[in-house]
Homo-oligomer: A and B are copies of this chain.
């Protein structure tokens, strides 16, 4: 399982990791069934997750009880509520498996121990988070720049695999649409 992460580290950064160099014992290999929660809003957030297989969504509960999806994460992405993770604080988001998934999870304590043993891993996470932050800058631009319909078109063009994989009501929530509005736009583009 650790080989997936090693492959990703070597793809993203210039670090060369032998299997002996990244001990699997720092991580927990977990499986979640479709719809199971990896993290629950209001509960303390101890872990971050590297997705080996499957897809999850990050959401919070609106005051009216509906779920607002903020983000998705797929294979080779790290996900968590990173404010809560870095502070060991209660999560402001939940994370739920959209498919049956497999992850490597690491707690903040174990991560600290791992960095003592392999400080060069910071270079990998530096790049991972720089990319994630850069993607947010672009996403803020899209949110301001595009109409709802353009936002959907953009998503379709740049993430076609996603639109097949993610349930339409979650995609609608992520884009800030009602499911009915997304269904209308989809009909227009399919016809």
Residues of A within 8 A of B (CB): 58, 60, 62, 68, 70-71, 81-83, 85-86, 92-93, 115, 119-120, 122-123, 125-127, 129-141, 143-145, 176
Contacts and interface: CB of A to CB of B under 8 A. Distances in A.
This chain: copies in complex? 2
Contacts of A120: 119, 122
Contacts of A70: 137, 140-141, 144
A156 to B, nearest CB: 20
Given A68-B144, A129-B132, A133-B136, 10 more contacts: A60-B145, A70-B144, A71-B137, A82-B130, A86-B130, A86-B131, A119-B123, A120-B122, A125-B126, A129-B129
A139 B71 CA distance: 12
Contact of A129 (B60, B133, B139, B145): B133
A82 to B, nearest CB: 4
